[in-house]
């Protein structure tokens, strides 16, 4: 027993990070397009980025070459809805063509509605701080359901609320670059309501039965040893509320279980829960590492030692996270799991032989998949694995230095080169994960 024959071997991206074409065919500005100045390394922006908007067919061809079974991408809200209630058909056309191209090549599209580039027209009335956003988001979900759900079955409402809220409104390192921790409860409520209304709307206007989930992230803790106490400690860390809106259960308990943690109760009513808690089809989550190992004396003692393996983001490499997190999440939420993002940034460049050798990434992917396989063998249903990212892209405040892609992008020319890891992933997919 191992990976299911329908396992979704995939890779992921997000509109703002890859598309470019930031004002083309009627697209309006989003917060990352308009407010980035002074907040990104070397003031880089994603106006052109990997220019996926113009390289779409070539990129799908490369996905096919890698053998992907699925591709997770996001829709740019400011590309398709250019003001309250105003639909931009040309923007929709791009996603229609992308979906057609994917299906023609046997690749299942997984569509994310919100991956952080809030339209400026919404930001101007307060964006996530104003409850009006909930119905604007529902309208957007309706437009997308009507346009794409005859061909798209998988939808993800919102990507990593943990990160865009902490980053955007607490630490001020992500758009809209604010520091207003006092808005945390208000924003959390609006995001949860938007999620709930989007699920209702997708189901209502979906042209076929849809499979809907979310793509949260949050600290995952892995046990230091294998004793029941170690495992219990790790679970406690994973399901702790210590980091508030940055934690797992702040979101997943109300959204999936309909249980509101005490700290959220001043903001969320029982009426709200009826909207927020909609049946979901899978527990999607983005996971890059377990932030801390757990010591018997508490979850906050990191096992950091000199020379700990790290990625170019400085993130520790802890492959066992892909064994423990699926187990923990399945146990608590009883939904099939989907790894909606996992991957690493590396110091990739085109080498003298014209190729991009990235043995660290090959090793990273293999070891994470071996752990995922172990979780599957122990009974955790896992629908798929979406490597982050299909191609190098704009890594938010880090700009372009941090390369996560399976495909190398030369940002000067738009030229693409498959990295060694793309070929290694291809082989894994060919054996359906039997040979990792
Ligand atoms: C996630 C995010 C992605 C990507 C990745 C690597 O938090 O969803 O957009 O940037 O991290 O940092």
Ligand 1, atom 4, residue with closest C-alpha: 395
Q: Quick one: which H or E segment has residue 351?
A: none
Which one of the listed residues 19, 160, 184, 320 is annotated catalytic?
A: 160
Atom of ligand 1 nearest to the CA of 343: 6
The residue whose CB lies within 8 Å of the most ligand 1 atoms, and thus the one to mutate among 395, 400, 401, is 395
Tokens of 429: 């997919």
For position 126, which CATH number holds?
3.20.20.80
Residue 348 and residue 357: Cα distance in Å, rounded?
Answer: 7
Backbone torsions φ then ψ of 107, nearest 5 degrees: -110, 125
List the one residue out of 78, 81, 79 whose CA is nearest residue 143.
Answer: 81
User: Is residue 272 included in any domain, yes or no?
Assistant: yes
What is the domain range of residue 19?
A: 8-430
User: Is residue 1 included in any domain, yes or no?
Assistant: no
User: Is residue 75 included in any domain, yes or no?
Assistant: yes
Q: What's the 188 CA to ligand 1 centre distance in angstroms?
A: 19
Residue 52 and residue 58: Cα distance in Å, rounded?
Answer: 9
Domain count, the chain: 1
Residue 112 and residue 206: Cα distance in Å, rounded?
Answer: 15
Ligand 1, atom 9, residue with closest C-alpha: 14
Q: What's the 341 CA to ligand 1 centre distance in angstroms?
A: 8
List the one residue out of 155, 163, 215, 211 whose CA is nearest residue 341.
Answer: 215
List the one residue out of 370, 341, 344 whose CA is nearest residue 358.
Answer: 344
Q: What's the 207 CA to ligand 1 centre distance in angstroms?
A: 30
Query: How open is the CA angle 384-241-129, to the nearest 5 degrees?
Result: 85
Contact call for residues 94 and 100 (beta carbons, < 8 A): no
Task: Report the DSSP beta bridge partners of residue 341.
Answer: 286
The answer to whether 415 is a known catalytic residue is no
User: Is residue 397 included in any domain, yes or no?
Assistant: yes
The residue whose CB lies within 8 Å of the most ligand 1 atoms, and thus the one to mutate among 49, 286, 342, 406, is 286
Atom of ligand 1 nearest to the CA of 396: 10
Determine the angle formed by the axes of helices 184-205 and 132-148, rounding to 10 degrees.
30
Cβ burial 142-181 (10 Å sphere, 16+ → b, else e): bbbbebbbeebbbbbbbbbbbbbbbbbbbeebbbbbbeee
The answer to whether 341 is a known catalytic residue is yes
Q: What's the 216 CA to ligand 1 centre distance in angstroms?
A: 11
Ligand 1, atom 10, residue with closest C-alpha: 395
User: Is residue 252 included in any domain, yes or no?
Assistant: yes
Q: Which residues have CB under 8 Å from 10's CB, separation 6+?
A: 68, 69, 70, 71, 72, 107, 108, 110, 384, 385, 386, 387
Q: Which residue has the tokens 């991956």?
A: 115
Q: What's the 27 CA to ligand 1 centre distance in angstroms?
A: 23
Other CB atoms within a 10 A radius of the CB of residue 191 amount to 24
3-state DSSP percent of the chain in helix, strand and coil, to 5: 45, 15, 40
User: Is residue 3 included in any domain, yes or no?
Assistant: no
Cβ < 6 A, ligand 1 pocket: 14, 17, 159-160, 163, 217, 286, 341, 388, 395-396, 404
Q: What is the largest CA-CA distance in the chain?
A: 62
User: Is residue 241 included in any domain, yes or no?
Assistant: yes
List the chain pLDDT tens, one digit each, 436 residues: 799 999 999 999 999 999 999 999 999 999 999 999 999 999 999 999 999 999 999 999 999 999 999 999 999 999 999 999 999 999 999 999 999 999 999 999 999 999 999 999 999 999 999 999 999 999 999 999 999 999 999 999 999 999 999 999 999 999 999 999 999 999 999 999 999 999 999 999 999 999 999 999 988 999 887 889 889 989 999 999 999 999 999 999 999 999 999 999 999 999 999 999 999 999 999 999 986 655 555 544 556 677 889 999 999 999 999 999 999 999 999 999 999 999 999 999 999 999 999 999 999 999 999 999 999 999 999 999 999 999 999 999 999 999 999 999 999 999 999 999 999 999 999 999 999 9
List the one residue out of 323, 309, 326 whose CA is nearest residue 363.
Answer: 309
The alpha carbon of residue 361 and the mean position of all alpha carbons in its chain are separated, in whole angstroms, by 19
User: Is residue 436 included in any domain, yes or no?
Assistant: no
């Amino acid at each position: 027993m191992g990976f299911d024959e329908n396992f979704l071997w995939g890779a992921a991206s997000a509109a703002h990070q890859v598309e470019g074409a930031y004002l083309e065919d009627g697209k309006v500005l989003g917060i990352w397009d308009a407010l980035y100045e002074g907040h990104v390394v070397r003031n880089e922006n994603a106006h052109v980025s990997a220019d996926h908007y113009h390289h779409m067919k070539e990129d799908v061809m490369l996905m096919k070459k890698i053998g992907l079974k699925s591709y997770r991408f996001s829709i740019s809200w400011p590309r398709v809805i250019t003001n309250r209630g105003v639909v931009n058909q040309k923007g929709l056309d791009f996603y229609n063509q992308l979906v057609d191209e994917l299906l023609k090549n046997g690749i299942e599209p997984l569509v994310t509605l919100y991956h952080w580039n809030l339209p400026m027209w919404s930001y101007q009335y307060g964006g996530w701080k104003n409850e009006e956003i909930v119905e604007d988001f529902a309208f957007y979900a309706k437009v997308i359901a009507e346009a794409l759900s005859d061909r798209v079955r998988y939808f993800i409402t919102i990507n990593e609320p943990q990160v865009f809220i902490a980053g955007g409104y607490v630490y001020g390192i992500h758009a809209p670059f604010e520091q207003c921790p006092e808005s945390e409860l208000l924003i959390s409520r609006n995001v949860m309501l938007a999620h709930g209304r989007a699920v209702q709307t997708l189901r209502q206007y979906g042209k076929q039965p849809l499979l809907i989930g979310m793509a949260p992230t949050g600290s995952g803790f892995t046990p230091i040893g294998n004793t029941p106490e170690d495992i219990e400690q790790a679970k406690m860390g994973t399901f702790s509320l210590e980091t508030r809106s940055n934690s797992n259960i702040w979101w997943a308990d109300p959204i999936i279980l309909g249980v509101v943690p005490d700290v959220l109760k001043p903001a969320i009513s029982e009426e709200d829960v009826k909207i927020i808690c909609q049946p979901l089809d899978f527990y999607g989550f983005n996971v890059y590492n377990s932030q801390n190992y757990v010591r018997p004396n508490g979850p906050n003692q990191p096992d950091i030692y000199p020379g700990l393996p790290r990625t170019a983001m400085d993130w520790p490499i802890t492959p066992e996270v892909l064994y423990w997190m699926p187990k923990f999440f399945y146990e608590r939420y009883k939904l099939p799991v989907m790894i909606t993002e996992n991957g690493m940034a590396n110091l990739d460049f085109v080498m003298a032989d014209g190729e991009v050798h990235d043995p660290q990434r090959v090793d990273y992917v293999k070891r994470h998949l071996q752990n995922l396989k172990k979780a599957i063998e122990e009974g955790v249903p896992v629908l798929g694995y979406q490597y982050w990212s299909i191609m190098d892209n704009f890594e938010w405040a880090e700009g372009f230095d941090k390369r996560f892609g399976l495909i190398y992008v030369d940002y000067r020319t738009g030229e693409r080169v498959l990295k060694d890891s793309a070929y290694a992933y291809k082989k894994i997919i060919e054996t359906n994960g039997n040979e990792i």
